[in-house]
Structure 1
């Protein structure tokens, strides 16, 4: 027996041919169970290529797909008081914030940015449901006010992507106060004659739907998004009746006049470009992805 041939060589080959398989290469669709390759899923904007199920997408990923060339500038948001109620449940509130910041890489549950979409300058804000359920706290209220003020100052429309489980209980009444504050911010846009477009994504619930999420000049939703104040389970337990099929989903609300559009994510950018330019009284833009605007180039007029 040649021990070099029968043992040593196979052992060496196994060491050098061994490859570690990263755990994040595949994602399982929540709806149909299909295993999706991460690169294919990213190109599809986190939409299942098998059944069309819309998975969660971060604000940065959304903005990279929304703005021309994926280029945008973040708008500064005033930081609120840290832990105003000294709230503690199983963890301290600051500990929960730090854990969410580490998991998402974001400072808070809303990102505000400005840039061009189809050569149309806009201001956009998006909630991150993975950050403490996208809950509406003082920072989210400050973010919406900052977005509205920036839009008014630049005379640009505001597009907001909502995704939230409601108010943030760790901030108590201060969280609920963001409902009238954000309503005032929307009124600022109205008085300036600027469009305010809301895209409701899954899920949009609680005090968010009772304030800024349902005040848009145009209400668009992604397919099968849950949009409600109280969830269907709570309603069923309260009224002790079975709810209709698809109750509180985007398509149900569209059929009952609560929405203007239900648009798949892949078509959303072109839809927003058309609606925005129409509301601004501008000529139609070229559909499809556009490169980033040239540095120092003149932006088209946006005064409605």
Structure 2
């Protein structure tokens, strides 16, 4: 019995020695302390905006690749929403253009307050962006064809139509007439700006009246409808172009599909209010892919000039 106990003790000691020998060997990774001790400030996060996920097909690509593809999904051809700066860089020769009427800013005529005062809402947007309002107007050349382009920015209160947009639109028409230039408007808006009430609604008649002057001067007006174009825009100058064109898949209408469905209590046709649906029903002249917009616009300007 004593001999068996001595053998077990020797075996245990030998095993301990083996464990000690294994512990002494160098390891590729050693955790000296338990827990993650890295402070939040020192953590390396993926930079925001480095990757973009397509909302239609969930394809993920880098922002640089998407920019190179003119913000069109390489997999499903979904046209991502972009602002005036991206359109101007894409269309104008050498990305060179002169902005017009950039000094006009919105004013809170009615001292309107909803969730917060309209004046405070404007100040917050001016602090966050370089935009002065929901539309920018620029003059430049597209393949050596001079043109005035007015483009809406959805980032500024949903690209809403207010007194400043109406004034910029009107001055742009006057500039076109004075300089004998064609006029392109890139529409992207949720409709009239409720914070300006009647001042906003007056812009519908004002802009339509200015377009009649452009027509009398025999100068072309092209309306490019992008996603989304709704409300007062589609009810006024958005649908009054000599040519009404649109990007693929753009949502275009007056009231939204959900509102219409709840009102008529019926299911809507597939693709209702998309640009393809409007083209089929005669509301558009043609649909143009963003990657071909510059060449198509050049072709139109040459035809109008001739």
1:99-141: CA deviation from partner (whole Å, max 9, x where unpaired):
2233332111001000000100000000011111000000110
Q: Is the contact between residue 45 and residue 57 of structure 1 (CA under 8 Å) also seen in structure 2? A: no
Aligned position for 2:92: 67
Q: Distance in 1 between matches of 2:227 and 2:291?
A: 16
Give the distance between the partners of 1:176 and 1:6, measured in 2 at CA.
69
Which structure has more RCO (C-alpha within 8 Å, separation ≥ 6)? Answer: 1
**Among 58, 63, 74, which residue is 1:49 paired with?**
74
SS of the residue corresponding to residue 46 of structure 1 reads coil
Shift of 1:232: 1.1
Paired with 1:220 and 1:248, the residues of 2 have a C-alpha distance of 14
Residue 276 (structure 2) pairs with residue 240 (structure 1)? no
- Greater shift, 74-83 or 130-139, is seen at 74-83
What do residues 212-252 of structure 1 show as CA deviations (whole Å, max 9, x unaligned)? 10000001100010110111111111110111101111001
Deviation at 1:21, TM superposition (A): 2.7
Q: Over aligned residue pairs, what C-alpha RMSD do you find? A: 2.0
TM-score (norm 1): 0.85
Superimposed CA distance per residue, residues 69-125 of structure 1 (whole angstroms, 9 cap, x where no aligned partner): 110000115636610000011111011112223333211100100000010000000
Q: Which residue of 2 aligns with 1:146?
A: 171
CA apart distance, 1:23: 1.7
C-alpha separation in 1, matches of 2:230 and 2:279 = 16
8 Å CA contact retained: 1:195, 1:280? no
Correspondences of 1:282-293 after superposition (within 5 Å): none
2:159 aligned to 127, 130, 134, which one?
134
* Counterpart pick for 2:211 among 155, 176, 186: 186
TM-score, with structure 2 as normaliser: 0.85
Provide the residue aligned with 2:294 in structure 1.
269
For structure 1, the residue ranges without an aligned partner over 5 or more in a row are 8-13, 282-304
Match of 2:11 in 1: none
Q: Which residue of 2 aligns with 1:24?
A: 49
- What secondary structure, in the 3-state scheme, does the structure 2 residue paired with 1:200 have? strand
The CA deviation at 1:20 is 4.9
The residue aligned with 2:185 is 160
Counterpart secondary structure, 2:252: coil
The ranges of structure 1 where at least 4 consecutive aligned residues each deviate by more than 4 angstroms after the TM superposition are none
- Distance change in 2, residues 1:81/1:110 (3 Å): closer
